Amino acid sequence: MQYLEEYIRYLTYEKQYSKYTVVNYESDILEFMEYLGQEGISLLKIDYSLIRGYLSYLFNEKKDNNTTVSRKISSLRGFYKYLSNHGLIKNNPFRLVSLPKKNKHLPKYFYYNELEELFNSCDTKTPLGQRDELILEMLYATGVRVSELVNIQVADINTYDMTIKILGKGNKERIVSFGEYAKDALDLYISDGRKTLNTKNSNYLFLNHIGGHLTTRGVRDILNRIIKKTSLDKNISPHMLRHTFATHLINEGCDLLAVSELLGHESVSATQIYTHVTTDHLKDVYFHTHPRAYINENEDKYNANKE
């Protein structure tokens, strides 16, 4: 446990990983240590054959999927690299382990008409309704993560340029833009609803019903309540609105590199999942390019081409 505690401090204070990431690392390593205890093997005396047995345990007994196993192996690879760098073991036994291929799932997103129904479900005559509308508008307009959204302070917003300074993963700052719909929702909330909610003189943009700092869990609960007011038969999450942001940009012609920067991805490879093409986009391309898609508009052009 001493080695693990030292490693967790290293991740927290030197690597400055997020609390969520550190908790996942610790959970993965503790699970492996429990497995070693059952096998009667020391943490510092494992080999490749034992790792193969552990992989079999994860897949066959725990029924973990490829993505989960990949994450757990990555956590252990980092931990044993730390042990190796500090001279506690000679070699990192996890460096030769290949990660299983991740399960590929296309990101779920909302169509334009579904977004309109979500936006229209908020009662903007109330402070909480104004806040909820702004949450939807900001998530869709900027593509920020929910953890980034709740940490926006009023001072981070430049209403003249319509930009927001965002503190992202690894404490990296980036600037995101927002459009006129989001600006209208922001102006209403700042001038009206937030003044009512801000009983504790908070600097944060988004506040809960008692004037405190709105949490990521609070945002998820708000979104769940919003979608129940609609006719939509879909689940909703902050990340789904982030997916929608990226999908709609790409479908409207935005290049992948620009979307990657807007999302705050470290590598454009992380953005490639959004290169799927929606059915609506395919239909739009078809009806704007096929010579016999419309009778009247393209009839003359089609006949001319035949001649």
Q: How many alpha carbons fall within 13 Å on the CB side of residue 293?
A: 10
Give the SS3 label for residue 163.
strand
Which positions are annotated as active-site residues?
A: 145, 169, 239, 242, 265, 274
C-alpha distances out from residue 217 to 32, 64, 223, 239, 282, Å: 29, 25, 10, 13, 36
> Do residues 215 and 150 make contact, with C-beta atoms less than 8 angstroms apart?
yes
Rounded CA-CA distance 178/162 in Å is: 6
- Lookup: tokens for 189: 């909330």
Q: How many alpha carbons fall within 13 Å on the CB side of residue 46?
A: 26
